[in-house]
Structure 1
Amino acid sequence: MNKTLAIILVIAATIVTIAMTLDYSNRRTIDWEESFNEKSNKPYGVSIFYKELPKLLEGQKLKTIYYTPYNYFYANSEDGYGDHVAEGNYVLVGNSDYLELGDIEELLLFAGRGNTLFMSDYTFPQTLLDTLDIAIDVVQNKDSISQLSFTNPNLKSKNSTIDKNESSSYFSEFEPENYTVLGYVNGNPKLTNFLEIPFGEGTIYLHLEPKVFTNYNILKEQRYRYTEGALSYLPNATIYFDSYTKYFNSQYGDAEEKSDLSWFLQQPAFKWAWYLTLILTLLFMVFNAKRRQRIIPIVKPLENTTVGFVKTISNLYYETQDHKNLIDKKITYFLEKIRSDYNLDTTTLNEEFITKLAQKSGKRKETVKKTINFINWLRTKNEFFEENLLKLNKHIEEFYS
């Protein structure tokens, strides 16, 4: 047998053996982390709720939002650069602590325009609580069991209980004359945990038990009926689902979807098999190359033709219709020059940044705002055309004219 082939077979057998051993040792381990991740099949993920949402709202279109509400709703508004005007139901389950002031303002504007905001979490950002004039407190549960009830007698059959829940949140302060109580906890009508809040021309629903929407509770007994009851208050319209699988790019602050490889790397068996494959492949290449490497010929260094190289690369991008690459580079170089020339932080391109840039550059605020808003809009797009590139170039040239 060829020696090289034998080495490859030994490496493969070693990887398979280690992976099977790790998989067997971890097979019975259950992860009870409350991730509220719509891609997670773990007990406290929300993959089942996410998949069933369109069916609960009679087949409505489901749009998963991988951007912050500030970026998404500003772009997809009547004054924005998005490809549609966002209208319908915005649903957020758990992990609302990432919301910042700008995000909350956009969510309230969305609701005020006649839409519906549904949020379920143990608590909410203080800015939202102060705006709606409400407060939240916590009560301990007997035997770690919560009883969840609706005030509507027609939904009485959908009342439920959840276990593994040491405490429950409730609204300790709110405006009873303006807000409608939809549900309460532990059989005590004073422990309100579900509110309907009229806001502008729309409605806000605040719910304080996100755990009821997780895989574990939807699949156990008849608890899914409570989920049906809670969502029955939503109008039959497009669903915007706030995805917790987003993360923030450290340079721009835009949210992006995680790589699919991240899920596999969370599995111990696959993770170790992957790392072992990389390490053993690297070792094989190093030792094999050391024995077979030919003499490296001396190559005369190329002349410094920087300008010609730049022209060649730019023409290549343009001729191959790689508009996304050119747009990304133009935005990067533009923001780098702003940081260098005006000593401004370009992490968050909001109204405050626009004002500071206009003051330091001496440009008209309208010109600066058009340029920055167009850049923010471009970041919400996945597909780019030549006209997007030309319009970006026009805005940048107008800024420097």
Structure 2
Amino acid sequence: MKKTLPVILIIVVLIITASVVIGVKRTKVVDWEESFDEKSNKPYGVSVLYKELPKLFKDYKVRTVYHQPSSYLSANSEDGYGEHVAQGNYIIIGNSDYLEDDSIDELLSFVDAGNTLFLSDYYFPQKLHDTLEVSVKYIDNEKDSISFLSLKHLNIPAITLDRNVSDQYFSDFDSINHSVLGFSKIDYKHPNFLQVPFGDGTIYLHLEPKIFTNYHLLKEDRYQYIEGALSYLPDNNVYFDSYTKIQTGYDGDVEQESNLGWFLEQLSFRWAWFTAIVFGILFMIFNAKRRQRIIKIVKPLQNTTVAFVKTVSNLYFDTKDHKNLIDKKITYFLEKIRRDLNLNTDVLDEQFTEKLATKTGKKLDDIKKLVNYINLMRSKNEFFEENLIKLNRHIEAFYTK
């Protein structure tokens, strides 16, 4: 016992020292994940915009939609069982790839009845592209990752958008019926904001959802651009989409705060917590000394290949080396396509997409989503856990469907 006492004292001192250091200095790391969550105060959340909507649409109801548009709009229709008939502006900021065909049909019916859809994302579901006859391409920002956004018909100066590696623009659309409202370049040759008439209503398609986030809304005079873009919406009720933001484990985790965090911010609770940890460790040490040592069971050697692969992948994941993992997943996937299907994967264009869909017998829309996302990942310089999860989901869907 006398020999173990110094060791125990050293352990207690180390634990107390670590507790003091943690309590005195905390390093806060900025999370640049593009969650577009209306509850998130992080740079790329949209809590500021969400709080300002009641002021922009004064005297009108602002509702948050936590369901698929197909179920929510059908329930709140004239023949539905909801509490009201949905009328007004339906706003979707980012993460629009969750929209299935039935939800797109319901949104188009909603617009056709005289309502408005405002959709801002880097790209849209393929059915929406086909129905509205629009195509989207992107251009890399080779210098300083700076973009320039402007509105065509409003007397608002062009704004800069930093931390933006590429610009999306509408490469093909109906120039007779569709109206260009904004551009993503100073040359006014790359439209990124369209007004599309549909039935008795209007659809607004916008290709830079990042501008609506907290980081840009609170920086310089960029709020003028956001107010101008939303000024095209009629004065009416607002339905703000939040379906994808609550899908934890699907497209990324919703921003959550630990319940223990508040207690650790209180000095007395923090010391009580660390004291309990110290005494718990001491209890385990003394309790272990009073028991007979466990006789080890010698197990035969096993094939640890799978465990090794899991260990390496967990190492990349724990170090947040998302780029490395994404590159490897894309490389291994394309290698399997070349080996199993004898397809050339040097250029992932429409011809490659059609050949892949034909050889695998899978839906062309699903293959387009996968190929478009792989091309998007190849064009990005900055990666987050959400990108890795989305890529993995697309690849798994390719093998399971």
What is the TM-score with the length of structure 2 in the denominator?
Answer: 0.59
Identity %: 51
CA distance in 2, matches of 1:282, 1:51: 46
Counterpart residue number, 1:54: 54
Q: Which residue identity lines up with residue 162 of structure 2 in the other structure? A: D
Counterpart residue number, 1:91: 91
Q: Which residue identity lines up with residue 258 of structure 2 in the other structure? A: F
Q: Is the 8 A contact 1:158 1:229 kept in 2?
A: no
CA distance in 2, matches of 1:281, 1:237: 59
Counterpart residue number, 2:128: 128
Offset of residue 140 of structure 1: 1.8
Counterpart residue number, 2:258: 264
Offset of residue 190 of structure 1: 2.2
Specify the SS of the correspondent of 1:104: helix
CA distance in 2, matches of 1:75, 1:19: 51
CA distance in 2, matches of 1:55, 1:128: 31
Q: State the number of aligned residues.
A: 268
Offset of residue 281 of structure 1: 11
Q: 1:158 to 1:236 in 2, by over 3 A?
A: farther
For 1:293-350, what per-residue CA distance to the aligned partner results, in whole angstroms no more than 9, with x for missing partners? xxxxxxxxxxxxxxxxxxxxxxxxxxxxxxxxxxxxxxxxxxxxxxxxxxxxxxxxxx
Specify the SS of the correspondent of 1:189: coil
Counterpart residue number, 1:100: 100
Matched, 1:150 2:151: yes
Q: 1:178 to 1:282 in 2, by over 3 A?
A: farther
Q: CA RMSD in A?
A: 3.8
Q: Is the 8 A contact 2:150 2:156 kept in 1?
A: no
Counterpart residue number, 2:23: 20
Specify the SS of the correspondent of 1:130: helix
What is the TM-score with the length of structure 1 in the denominator?
Answer: 0.59
Offset of residue 233 of structure 1: 0.1
Q: Which residue identity lines up with residue 232 of structure 1 in the other structure? A: S
For 1:78-127, what per-residue CA distance to the aligned partner results, in whole angstroms no more than 9, with x for missing partners? 12111111111001111111111111111111111110000111111111
For 1:131-154, what per-residue CA distance to the aligned partner results, in whole angstroms no more than 9, with x for missing partners? 1111100012232111111110xx
Counterpart residue number, 2:184: 185
Counterpart residue number, 2:166: 167
Q: Is the 8 A contact 1:92 1:242 kept in 2?
A: yes
Q: Is the 8 A contact 2:46 2:212 kept in 1?
A: yes
Q: Is the 8 A contact 2:137 2:168 kept in 1?
A: yes
Q: 1:135 to 1:267 in 2, by over 3 A?
A: farther
Q: 1:144 to 1:249 in 2, by over 3 A?
A: closer
Offset of residue 25 of structure 1: 3.3
State which drifts further: 134-143 or 111-120: 134-143
State which drifts further: 172-181 or 138-147: 138-147
Q: Is the 8 A contact 2:63 2:239 kept in 1?
A: yes
CA distance in 1, matches of 2:73, 2:223: 31
Counterpart residue number, 2:73: 73
Any stretches of 5+ residues in structure 2 without a counterpart?
1-12, 288-401
Specify the SS of the correspondent of 1:188: coil
Q: Which residue identity lines up with residue 264 of structure 1 in the other structure? A: S
Q: 1:25 to 1:198 in 2, by over 3 A?
A: same
CA distance in 2, matches of 1:143, 1:60: 41
